[in-house]
Chain A
Amino acid sequence: MRISTFFYTIKQGFVNIVRNKWFSLASIATISACLFLFGIFYAILVNFQHIVKTAEEGVSVTVFFDEELSDDKIRAIGEQIQKRVEVRDVKFISDDEAWDEFKAEYLGEYGDAGFTENPLEGSNSYEIYLNDVTMQSALVTWLESVDGVRQVNRSEITANALGGINVLIGYVSLGIIFILLAVSVFLISNTVMIGISVRKEEINIMKYIGATDFFVRSPFVIEGILIGLLGSIVPLVSIYYIYTNVIVYIGERFQILSGLLNFLPVEEIYATLLPVSVGIGVGIGFLGSIVTVRKHLKV
């Protein structure tokens, strides 16, 4: 294709949108709504995942041993634990460390509260961090069966609840987005179809003069793509604005939660959201128009 033909076609795509402005606007608005919801869901979802992941990383199983168990035995068990697939990291906490930590956390200015010896003597333990919280039960069952293990502490409720919510949010948002996408394709298709019927006469003239199918069709496809593109810009800009303000607001309002809620930076969200949104917008614009043009523009 020649450069001038290329620009001519793009220009005609714009002309189509302007001439058909109310339907174009309706289509742009629907795509915007769709991608807006998509963006919001996406931002919530990835933040939720991020928060859950941070929380999960803190989820640990603690194993205590029979007091008389030798250091060698404890070390051997530690090696066994390390080999398990569920395990991401294992930390050995000696009884002295445990006491120091306890003192720092709960006694503070009271120092050693009058203890001269370590009251946690013999409370050596392993703190086990998991690859995936859902694997916790299996690990705990195994740990309890190991010889020399006195007690296993776990945090079961959080683990299951977090995993479940995660999956649910994923499915619900996927469903809603899918419905909205279908509506958008339908609307774009309608817009292009109306454009075609309004320009039936003009299309006929083009054909008399010897315009190829491609030449007659491409402005309509460009129209669809432009609608998709415009439809993706609006939500991207507004979500950027909303997101940056909301995380600042939450950060200021709920300082207590600041340890729990650490949001992803907007750049990290947009590294994925921007190309995906533009891709979806352009994709449904292209799809909606090409299908319609092929069906209703038999040149």
Chain B
Amino acid sequence: MAQAGKRKARKGSAEAKDIIVLDQVSKSYSTGAPALNGVSIKIRRGEFVFIVGDSGSGKSTLIKLLLRELVPTSGSVWVNGEDVARLKHRKIPKFRRNLGIVFQDFRLLKDRNVYENVAFAQRIVQVPNREIKKNVPAILSTVGLAGKYKAKPKQLSGGEQQRVALARALINKPAILLADEPTGNLDPKNSWEIMKLLEEINEKGTTVLVVTHNREIVNAMKKRVVTMKKGVIVSDEKEGGYIDED
């Protein structure tokens, strides 16, 4: 027990600079070919990384492994110093609070207004009400949504909904922001605005991982680009671009 603890601590500190480490990770669903096949990657604290690739290449599977929604069939996944696959069930909530998560379909609580959707993330971590009252307006103005507190998700445009989701993901100051196609449902203007926000967040120190199909943005932003194909990483470039199929 003590030994295991030591080993864990050593691994955690050795990789303190690498906030995400995947080592020979494979993931098979019950049917079909493996969604991930021997993926190894290191992401440093404070990096901004695009993950691109064809539909079905395993990008979302990768994100789900980082979230501990899935566990790898083999290999190890380390996130923020935790061996994710070995995380005990009751420790998962606490682990996830270090991650901000944004999806293509926003995933807001439909019957609650903007304020409550964002405040919700703080209620979960038992922030006192008077602090929530300060934090929510602050984060909403960061994402450019000041003044829409009372609107329900239905009354907002896609871009606005994604800002709410982003505000919710950021309010607890996560170490890592994971975004799975955050601009998939947005027009070019809103897509750019969301990407710019992600970049700003990254500049303040948060590690940002963005899965996207948006070629234009990837090519323009000059960030690290990891390209996947059929469950393997086929390229990983420091200031990469979107690799065209064929």
Contact = CB atoms under 8 A, between A and B. Distances in A.
**Which range holds the interface residue count of chain B?**
20 to 34
Given A19-B111, A202-B109, A213-B90, A208 B101 contact: yes
A209 B129 contact: no
B204 interface: no
Nearest to B131: A4
A209 B111 contact: no
B123 interface: yes
B97 A210 contact: yes
Interface in B92-110: 93-97, 99, 101, 107-110
Nearest to B108: A205
Interface in B15-46: none
Interface string A120-163: 00000000000000000000000000000000000000000000
A209 B96 contact: yes
A8 B96 contact: no
A5 B93 contact: no
Contacts of A212: 90, 93, 124
Contacts of B99: 210
A218 to B, nearest CB: 12
A215 B109 contact: no
A211 B124 contact: yes
A127 to B, nearest CB: 72
Nearest to B132: A4
B128 interface: yes
A209 B90 contact: no
A210 B168 CA distance: 12
A2 B122 CA distance: 12
Contact of A5 (B69, B107, B120, B126): B126
B172 to A, nearest CB: 8
Nearest to B169: A209
A210 B96 contact: yes
A297 interface: no
A8 B123 CA distance: 8
Among B93, B110, B129, B168, residue most surrounded by chain A Cβ atoms (within 10 Å): B93
A206 interface: yes
Contacts of B128: 2, 4
A110 B123 CA distance: 90
Interface in B60-101: 67, 69, 90, 93-97, 99, 101
A215 B101 CA distance: 19
A1 interface: yes
Contacts of A205: 107-109
B125 interface: yes
A209 B121 contact: yes
6 contacts: A205-B109, A207-B96, A208-B101, A208-B107, A209-B120, A210-B99
**7 closest A-B pairs (Cβ-Cβ)?**
A210-B96, A210-B97, A4-B129, A212-B93, A211-B124, A210-B93, A2-B126
Interface of B: 67, 69, 90, 93-97, 99, 101, 107-111, 120-121, 123-126, 128-129, 168
Given A8-B123, A204-B107, A208-B67, 14 more contacts: A1-B126, A2-B126, A4-B126, A5-B126, A19-B111, A201-B107, A208-B101, A209-B120, A209-B121, A210-B94, A210-B95, A210-B124, A211-B124, A215-B93
